[in-house]
Chains A and B, each alone.
Chain A
Amino acid sequence: MTAYILKRLLATIPVMAVVALFVFLLLHLSPGDPAAIIAGDEATPAAIESIRQKLGLDRPIWEQFGIYVANLLRGDLGTSIFSNLPVLTLVKQRLEPTVVLAVCTLLVAVTFAVPMGVLAAWKARTAIDRVIMGFSVLGFAVPVFLIGYLLIWLFAIELRWLPVQGYRPLAEGVGQTARSIVLPAFALGMVYMALIARMTRASMLEVLSEDYIRTARAKGATTTAMLLHHALRNAAVPIVTVIGIGLTLLISGVVITETVFNIPGLGRLTVDAILKRDYPIIQGLIILFAMVKVLLNLMIDISYVFFDPRIRY
């Protein structure tokens, strides 16, 4: 097991190396002078020159890549052009809202989607199944900003139950944070729910046709016991996989959701960086998000062992 984890950890190195090379080349293979592009249309030659020096663009390209990788290995994701702060410091400042949003979205989606999927599989080919699967098809189609604005309009503007926008940090009390994160979590969670519900249904349907389910029923197991204990546990591996994969897919949704709800998280940091063409921040965030994605995938693979004892490495 330890050997397997070690092997998988080593396998992430080439992937991250490709990401680093890609992010690095992105700036250098683009047509035109990267310093001039970053400086914008109205920059003076002096400003362009200062950016060129700040990014080390005046050195040979292989030397630049060497410095870039060495910095990354030391945990230095680069320095913002405008605020002069290390990207890592900016990330730390913006981390809390994004993590809270991701965790709440995960909770909301799993809590609703797994029971929906189980129900749809149990009542397969009935009206209940059709309604749940119809919801799932819609969930894939309706963009996160439309859901977000609909939720704001209904629950914040019309009913006045929840705040319109903004984020209250955990330091101000969990209750306040929860109130400010409910709508974003549901907006972002819709696609995720659709994905999990669909996979839960498919996986449950496969398991429900197995012999041991018939045995369980013959033994007199109640429907709830049969569904939860016998079926869901055995259907868990694909569901856990899709929950993990879904989490990595949420990242683009996070950027949009934080913009809709004005949440000062990593997504807003990205958007602000785009508007100011603060390229080191965008590069740093790409590396960071890619790393999160790679580690999540690793954790999914390792978690199989815990959910299905038949799998051994």
Chain B
Amino acid sequence: MSSSANWGQTPFIAADRPGGRALDWLRRNPTIVAGSSILVFFVMVALFAPWIAGDPLGFDPLYRLKRPSAEFWFGTDQLGRDVFSRVVYGTRISLIVGISVAAIATVIGLLIGVLCGYYQRVDEIVMRVMDGMMAIPAILLAIALITLMKASLIIVIVAISIPEIPRVVRLVRSVVLTVRGLPYIEAAVSTGTRGLRIMSRHILPSTVAPLIVQATYVCSAAVLTEAGLSFLGAGTPPEIPSWGNVIATGRAYFQLAPWIIFFPGLMLALAVLAINLVGDGLRDSLDPRIARRL
């Protein structure tokens, strides 16, 4: 496994190096530090939501469409609900959706991709199916899946994950195809190593670095898609305060109360920016060759 051509062997995976070098690595990658700091902030907000904000569902008609003030930092909506509380609780939904979709799409995509890259017969059929899925615009595919089932957070997560899978499959497959032809795989085959072992011990490690990068992009795309779907009225059930749902309620009152849209919109942009910064940083530092591939 000491082949220099194996580009899975990147500094990031070498977790056994001393802590001092880890700090050094962070210093050389300010975008990762900036992005993950913002993400830590959002995770904190999500975890401690009940201590930070009041009831996101509580409404008071006396306080309809109030401007942002000391009492209501982000103003109130048309039912007199506190936009700040709703945005704070919305962080939970966005993070859950982003992380779950990234995990589901990556794991399933990895399995299919490795099988396709390794077994040519599976490859032909599966890749045609993937081509077809990629031809359907992601948001339309998600909308179609959601409208057919009773809307729930789990359905939304599944519906956003499915269109992301083909992209992961293609990436994994291309890595597997590259690695397959390398001498050390040939050596493993010639010494009688079985297919499953070659895949898990010799091929899978090479997919880790590009997959981590891809997962961050899937995550940010998922957060945006969830908000977009909710905004269109085809996403998370309206009674759950997600950023997209808060923005959707603000649509009809935009001229009177633009804050209902601006604050959750800004949080959304900030979260997506943070995830992308981590992704860009990882891409540039893990391996310059991935940078060209993605």
A binds B: yes
- A80 to B: closest C-beta gap in Å: 15
Chain B residues in 8 Å Cβ range of A145? 227-228, 231, 247, 261, 265
**Complex-state Cα separation, A143 to B258, whole angstroms:** 16
**Complex-state Cα separation, A256 to B143, whole angstroms:** 12
B232 A259 Cβ-Cβ under 8 A = yes
Cβ contacts A272-286/B at 8 Å (1 or 0 each): 001101010011011
Chain B CB within 8 A of A17 CB:
yes
**Of A18-26, A115-123, A215-223, the one with at least 4 CB within 8 A of chain B:** A18-26
**Of A44-52, A61-69, A133-141, A168-176, the one with at least 4 CB within 8 A of chain B:** A133-141
The residue from B145, B227, B251 contacting A143, defined by CB atoms under 8 A apart = B227
Chain B CB within 8 A of A37 CB:
yes
- B242 to A: closest C-beta gap in Å: 13
**Complex-state Cα separation, A37 to B147, whole angstroms:** 9
Q: A145-B261, A146-B261, A274-B232 are in contact. Are A279 and B147 (CB under 8 A)?
A: yes
What is the size, in residues, of chain A's interface with B at 8 Å between Cβ atoms? 50
A286 B136 Cβ-Cβ under 8 A = yes
- A16 to B: closest C-beta gap in Å: 7
- A204 to B: closest C-beta gap in Å: 15
A282 B143 Cβ-Cβ under 8 A = yes
- A270 to B: closest C-beta gap in Å: 7
**Of A88-96, A99-107, A229-237, A289-297, the one with at least 4 CB within 8 A of chain B:** A289-297
The residue from A16, A137, A274 contacting B135, defined by CB atoms under 8 A apart = A16
Chain A CB within 8 A of B277 CB:
yes
- A57 to B: closest C-beta gap in Å: 13
Chain A CB within 8 A of B203 CB:
no
B132 A274 Cβ-Cβ under 8 A = no
The SS class assigned to the A binding surface is helix
* Count: A-B pairs, CB below 8 Å: 140
Chain A CB within 8 A of B139 CB:
yes
CB under 8 Å from chain A, chain B span 197-224: 220, 224
B273 A146 Cβ-Cβ under 8 A = no
- A260 to B: closest C-beta gap in Å: 8
Cβ contacts A16-46/B at 8 Å (1 or 0 each): 1111011100110011001001000000000
- A19 to B: closest C-beta gap in Å: 5
- A184 to B: closest C-beta gap in Å: 15
Q: A149-B254, A259-B232 are in contact. Are A143 and B265 (CB under 8 A)?
A: yes
The residue from A30, A140, A141, A251 contacting B137, defined by CB atoms under 8 A apart = A251
Chain B CB within 8 A of A164 CB:
yes
CB under 8 Å from chain A, chain B span 164-207: none
- B202 to A: closest C-beta gap in Å: 32
Q: A143-B272, A146-B261, A282-B147 are in contact. Are A256 and B132 (CB under 8 A)?
A: no
Q: Which B-chain residue is minimally distant from A256 (CB atoms)? A: B228
Chain A CB within 8 A of B131 CB:
yes
**Complex-state Cα separation, A15 to B135, whole angstroms:** 8
Chain A CB within 8 A of B17 CB:
no
CB under 8 Å from chain B, chain A span 149-163: 149-150, 152-153, 157
A251 B140 Cβ-Cβ under 8 A = yes
**Complex-state Cα separation, A256 to B227, whole angstroms:** 10
Q: Which B-chain residue is minimally distant from A22 (CB atoms)? A: B132
A282 B265 Cβ-Cβ under 8 A = no
**Complex-state Cα separation, A142 to B266, whole angstroms:** 8
- A244 to B: closest C-beta gap in Å: 14
Chain A residues in 8 Å Cβ range of B143? 270, 274, 282
- A251 to B: closest C-beta gap in Å: 4
Chain B residues in 8 Å Cβ range of A282? 140, 143-144, 147
Cβ contacts B259-294/A at 8 Å (1 or 0 each): 001100110111011001100100000000000000
A146 B266 Cβ-Cβ under 8 A = yes
Chain B CB within 8 A of A55 CB:
no
Chain A residues in 8 Å Cβ range of B273? 137-138, 141-142
B269 A293 Cβ-Cβ under 8 A = no
Chain B residues in 8 Å Cβ range of A140? 272, 276
**Complex-state Cα separation, A169 to B3, whole angstroms:** 63
Going nearest first, the 8 A-B pairs with the smallest beta carbon separation are A18-B132, A146-B265, A252-B139, A141-B273, A290-B135, A30-B148, A251-B137, A141-B272
12 further interface pairs, Cβ-Cβ under 8 Å (given A30-B149, A138-B273): A14-B131, A18-B131, A19-B132, A19-B135, A21-B132, A22-B132, A22-B136, A141-B269, A252-B140, A256-B139, A270-B143, A286-B137
13 A/B residue pairs, CB under 8 Å, sorted by A: A14-B131, A18-B131, A143-B224, A143-B268, A145-B261, A145-B265, A146-B261, A248-B137, A256-B232, A275-B233, A279-B148, A282-B140, A286-B141
Residues of B whose CB lies within 8 Å of any CB of A are: 128-129, 131-133, 135-141, 143-145, 147-149, 220, 224-225, 227-228, 231-234, 247, 251, 254-255, 258, 261-262, 265-266, 268-270, 272-273, 276-277, 280
